[in-house]
Amino acid sequence: MNRRDSLKAMGLTVSATLLLDSCKPAADKKTADGLVLDEIGRQKYEVEREKKLLAEKFFDAHEMATITILADLIIPKDEHSGSASDAKVPDFIEFIVKDEPEHALPMRGGLRWLDVKCLNKYNNEFKSCTPQQQLEILGAIAYPMQATPDMVAGVTFFNKMRELTAIGFFTSKMGIEDLGYKGNAPTKWEGVPADVLKQYGLEGV
Amino acid sequence: MTDIQIKRSAEVYDVVIIGSGAGGGMAGYVLANAGVKVLMLEAGPFFDPAKDSLQLKWPYESARRGGNATRPMGDFDAAYGGWDIEGEPYTQKNGTDFKWFRAKMLGGRTNHWGRISLRMGPKDFKARSSYGVGDDWPITYEDIKPYYDKVDRLIGVYGSMEGMENDPDGIFLPPPKPRLNELFIKKAVTGLGIKVIAGRGSILTEKLPGNNERGACFFCGQCNRSCKIYGDFSSSSCLVIPAIKTGNLKVITNAIVREILTGSDGLANGVSYVNKDDMQEYAVKAKTVILAAGTCESARILLNSKSSQHPNGLANSSNVVGKYLHDSTQTGGAAILPQLLDRKRFNEDGVGSLHIYAPWWGDHKKLDFVRGYHLELFGGMMMPGYGGYLGFEGSLVPYLNGYLPGKDGKMKPGGGFGKGLKDDYRRFYGTLAAIGCHGTDIAKEDNYCEIDNSVVDKYGIPVLRFNYKWGPEEIKQAKHMQQTIQESIKAMGGIPLVQPAGPENNYGLDKPGKGIHEVGTVRMGDNAQKSSLNKWGQAHDCRNLFVVDGSVFVQQSEKNPTWTILALSMRTAEFILNQKKRQNI
């Protein structure tokens, strides 16, 4: 059910009319990659800053290819939803390191650390390693409590890479549907459903 | 001819109001509806939630997924400004780290606030008599009660009737029911002997009787973005825009006030400001001036309004302007509720204010501190977003998944990647429970803001410098907050996400200003030697100058200040009408 239908179903009158009036499409602008840049309700400097960041490029092609492989290893396609790259997570990571520059250096340096580690270990940069080699090196940096001291820099990098990937994925349309979030739509909140209250024995609370 | 001129308008307004937040908005609403010609000066742009709110946007409609690179409380939050504004600095002294949140826009901070709408109680107005600390207000709860009632009816507030002496009931709309996580919190906190009641918030859980301009809440839980159908209280939507419609209130936006102008008789006769759009200087004339720029900015304007009649700044012969600055004490805790792993999905957005809270329950005779705090209790299946689910519980999943058995009942090392990790994010979604503690700071003469004459902002106006230190009373309160948080989380079987804080960092007490409840810099009082304003918010030194924002507070309490600001402003506006009728001003 879309927003308009659910409004109707609820029989909302004043709210619905006011809401639909105020949700009419306005002078939004689409950027090259399809992101809608909304200028309504935003300050001029915000819009200008964002346009500038979207026009800049931080990661080179090699780095982006490595980020894409890593992101899909962290969040692969499964029976519920697509992979991180299906949800355009690499594009989000490219944007956010420019938006929040504190991520830029750890990401760039971390990618390089990973390539050099793989070169020494497997005679290949990470993206050209075999899938088995890639899993092996991730196994050494993806479990902080088990990592050996020589892998600490990799653990730090992977923590950040994993966090940015998860943010990018679970804030995408695909990721939000995967989580099963049901809100952001007009409703009438009448409390926790009876079957759920019963499940947890909270009927009397 | 010079490039910059001061443009003086010939028109004399009955009243010029500086600021459009809760205080300025209410004064403008009352006066405009009574037929007074009002000019309102606002430092930021026009903002109408119906048009400008970013309500119902999805995180993927933001390049930063709702992140906070440009707005400190997220990309959709309805506050233009923040802790730091380019070109408008403030300074500190004696190791102070006061944080000053400013929202420069029509309606100010009321566009994004938490809508927690609490009345102060009878004892709160008499802190010295009741608790032996702070000062008594020059008014009693009985003086302000009729105005609280009128604010309730005019704006709307939900809550439950409890009959608690120092947490007075209002005229309430029905409160929203708790979310699932909140029922667990309620059960645990109640078990500690703490009474948990429905939240009190200015959100229309039902249509407001007699008001056809505002829609009833449709439960998206996004009040911080401001509401397109005016289902919650913002000064912009509920006060200023309706006041404009009377034809009696005019707003000039992007007007940064330099000073209040006074004549040789010492009375206020106008306001000078710089217009951000054209960077020209302006002066407007007024018979009466109402100051409501926000607690710190109002003090700044008064201190910068020096003249031969008011050499120490306006309304400051007592030398108290800027002093007694006080913000809420606050700290908080959060936990994951393992019993909620893999919970059933349903729309649990609810309202964008508190569903439940615990008013202060302690007996100060049995404690080593005298003033209290309340608990703000919340949790549920929130909209994912950078700074929302994934800024918090989601980011912790790769750390937490090593502490709890998987679906197969087996333990595994924390962290990971791949399908197993992807499933862990789903499992932990919606399991967070949070406890916020917000309490009373005792107003102190030594906590203040003052003019730093060595620094000016980009408009050439001298800036504020802060001096602020928490006292032993506040730190003891924070210690008690920590105990309450730890006991509550234990009682609900939660995994704490925040390390317990100890004496080395004041028991987690947040930096002053972070509560965004700062008040007290232009205090009321009966004694003109010790206060700026009389009990009507009228300057002792200047009878046609009134102040109606949080700066007038003598002593705050653990109740959030907005409802009291609204009630006091309404009371002052009615007093002004009365005085105008009698031709006293």
Pairing of strands B6-18, B102-103: unpaired
Asked if residue B257 has pLDDT above 90, the reply is yes
Asked if residue B573 has pLDDT above 60, the reply is yes
CB B370 within 8 A of CB B218: no
Q: Is residue A204 part of a domain?
A: no
Q: Do A176 and B80 touch (CB under 8 A)?
A: no
Residue type at B207 in one-letter notation:
K
B168-173 long-range contacts, CB within 8 A, separation 24+: B168/B119, B168/B121, B168/B122, B168/B141, B170/B117, B170/B119, B170/B200, B172/B200, B173/B204, B173/B205, B173/B206, B173/B208
CB B468 within 8 A of CB B329: no
Shortest CB distance from A181 goes to which of B180, B212, B383?
Answer: B383
Share of chain B above pLDDT 90, in %: 95
How far is B396 from B497, CA to CA, in rounded Å?
9
Chain B positions in Cβ-Cβ contact with residue A78 (cut-off 8 Å)? 419, 422
Nearest to B411 by CA among B420, A140, A136: B420
The lowest-confidence range among A19-33, A68-82, B236-250, B500-514 is A19-33
B242-249 long-range contacts, CB within 8 A, separation 24+: B242/B29, B242/B213, B243/B25, B243/B28, B243/B29, B243/B32, B243/B33, B243/B38, B244/B32, B246/B32, B246/B33, B248/B31, B248/B32, B248/B33, B248/B35, B248/B36, B248/B37, B248/B38, B249/B28, B249/B31, B249/B32, B249/B38, B249/B39, B249/B40
Q: What is the mean pLDDT of residues B11-24?
A: 98
Count how many pairs of residues, chain A against chain B, have C-beta atoms within 8 Å: 222
Pairing of strands B373-378, B432-439: antiparallel
Q: Is residue A60 part of a domain?
A: yes
Chain A closest-CA separation from residue B513 CA (Å): 24
Nearest to B283 by CA among B23, B3, B13: B13
The pLDDT of residue B499 is: 83
The lowest-confidence range among B228-242, B322-336, B385-399 is B385-399
The tokens of A126 are what? 């990470």
Nearest CA in chain A to B225: A41
What average pLDDT does the structure give for chain B? 96
Q: Is residue A62 part of a domain?
A: yes
The tokens of B74 are what? 């997220």
Q: Do B63 and A41 touch (CB under 8 A)?
A: no
The pLDDT of residue B1 is: 55
Higher pLDDT, B585 or B483: B483
The pLDDT of residue B93 is: 98
Q: Which one-letter DSSP state was computed for residue B136?
A: B
Q: Is residue A127 part of a domain?
A: yes
Angle between helices A104-122 and A152-170 (to 10 degrees): 120
Q: What is the mean pLDDT of residues B348-361?
A: 98
Whole-prediction pTM value?
0.95
Shortest CB distance from B390 goes to which of A143, A171, A202?
Answer: A171
CB B555 within 8 A of CB B135: yes
The pLDDT of residue A10 is: 40
Residue count of chain B = 585
pLDDT digits (tens, 9 = 90+) for A104-146: 999 999 999 999 999 999 999 999 999 999 999 999 999 999 9
Q: What is the mean pLDDT of residues B489-514?
A: 94
The pLDDT of residue A2 is: 41
Where does the pLDDT of residue A1 fall: very low under 50, low under 70, confident under 90, or very high at 90 and above?
very low
Give the residues across from B274 on adjacent strands: B256, B281
State the residue range of the domain holding A10.
3-199
Where does the pLDDT of residue A17 fall: very low under 50, low under 70, confident under 90, or very high at 90 and above?
very low
Nearest to B550 by CA among B240, B301, B294, B235: B294
Q: What is the mean pLDDT of residues B526-540?
A: 98
How far is B200 from B121, CA to CA, in rounded Å?
14
pLDDT digits (tens, 9 = 90+) for B102-154: 999 999 999 999 999 999 999 999 999 999 999 999 999 999 999 999 999 99
Into how many domains does chain A fold?
1
The pLDDT of residue A35 is: 60
CA B429 to chain centre: 30
* A69 and B CB contact within 8 Å: no
Which phi and psi angles does B420 have, rounded to 5°?
A: -65, -45
Chain B closest-CA separation from residue A157 CA (Å): 13
Spatial neighbors of A32 by CB under 8 A, at least 6 apart, are: none
Which A positions 26-55 lie with beta carbon below 8 A of chain B? 35-38, 40-43, 45-46, 49-50, 53-54
Asked if residue B40 has pLDDT above 90, the reply is yes
The pLDDT of residue B476 is: 97
Q: Is residue A205 part of a domain?
A: no
What average pLDDT does the structure give for chain A? 88
Shortest CB distance from B61 goes to which of A3, A38, A46?
Answer: A38
Q: Is residue A178 part of a domain?
A: yes
The pLDDT of residue B66 is: 95
Nearest to B133 by CA among B299, B319, B361, B326: B326
CB B492 within 8 A of CB B188: yes
Chain B positions in Cβ-Cβ contact with residue A99 (cut-off 8 Å)? 63-64, 67, 69
Asked if residue B3 has pLDDT above 90, the reply is no
Q: Do A142 and B417 touch (CB under 8 A)?
A: yes
Reduce the DSSP state of residue B436 to 3 states and report it: strand
Asked if residue A32 has pLDDT above 60, the reply is no
Nearest to A143 by CA among B244, B417, B182: B417
Share of chain B above pLDDT 70, in %: 100
Higher pLDDT, B258 or A1: B258
pLDDT digits (tens, 9 = 90+) for A138-160: 999 999 999 999 999 999 999 99
User: Which residue out of A171, A177, A195 would a mutagenesis test of the B interface target, given it has the greatest number of B Cβ atoms within 10 Å?
Assistant: A171
User: Which residue out of A4, A5, A12, A22 would a mutagenesis test of the B interface target, given it has the greatest number of B Cβ atoms within 10 Å?
Assistant: A22
**Is this prediction's ipTM beyond 0.90?**
yes
How far is B237 from B107, CA to CA, in rounded Å?
8
Chain B closest-CA separation from residue A173 CA (Å): 7
How far is B125 from B142, CA to CA, in rounded Å?
10
pLDDT digits (tens, 9 = 90+) for B44-66: 999 999 999 999 999 999 999 99
pLDDT digits (tens, 9 = 90+) for B410-451: 999 999 999 999 999 999 999 999 999 999 999 999 999 999
The pLDDT of residue A37 is: 63
Chain A closest-CA separation from residue B347 CA (Å): 5
Reduce the DSSP state of residue B203 to 3 states and report it: strand
The pLDDT of residue B330 is: 96
Q: Do B429 and A19 touch (CB under 8 A)?
A: no
Q: What is the mean pLDDT of residues B297-309?
A: 98
Strands (E), B131-280: 197-198, 249-252, 255-262, 268-275
CB B142 within 8 A of CB B316: no
